[in-house]
Amino acid sequence: MVATFSSSSKNTFSSHKLNVEAPRASWSVKEDYEKVEAEADTWDTYLGTLHRAIVEAPRASCSVQRDEEKVQAEADRWERQLQLALEDDCEDLVQLTIEEGRKYWNH
């Protein structure tokens, strides 16, 4: 069986026993281009966002480190103040220091 394409129609497939029309494509080059272009725009936006995040990560890390150092310094200061109040056996100062600590840590 030899199959040939009919010259009368681009979408017709014939053989000596079979004459079947091929299904027409349900898409166009323009539609595909628009879909690909939209997908490329989405990926471009995603990659731009990712790039900015990578660039900003070291700055954010430094900021977090500075914040951590400030919090640690405040905790150390509060602990020294509480230790001094306990050593002086001053209950009012101990309570005041504890209250200050609670305000700071619970804000």
The ranges assigned to domains in the chain are 4-105
29 residue type, one letter? V
Mean pLDDT, residues 2-23 taken together:
48
Residue 89's pLDDT is 87
Confidence of residue 100 (pLDDT cuts 50, 70, 90): confident
Q: Which residues pair with 5 in a beta bridge?
A: 13
How far is Cα 71 from Cα 73, in angstroms, rounded to an integer? Answer: 5
33-87 pLDDT, tens digit per residue, is 888 888 888 999 999 999 999 999 998 889 999 999 999 998 899 899 889 888 8
Residue 3's pLDDT is 44
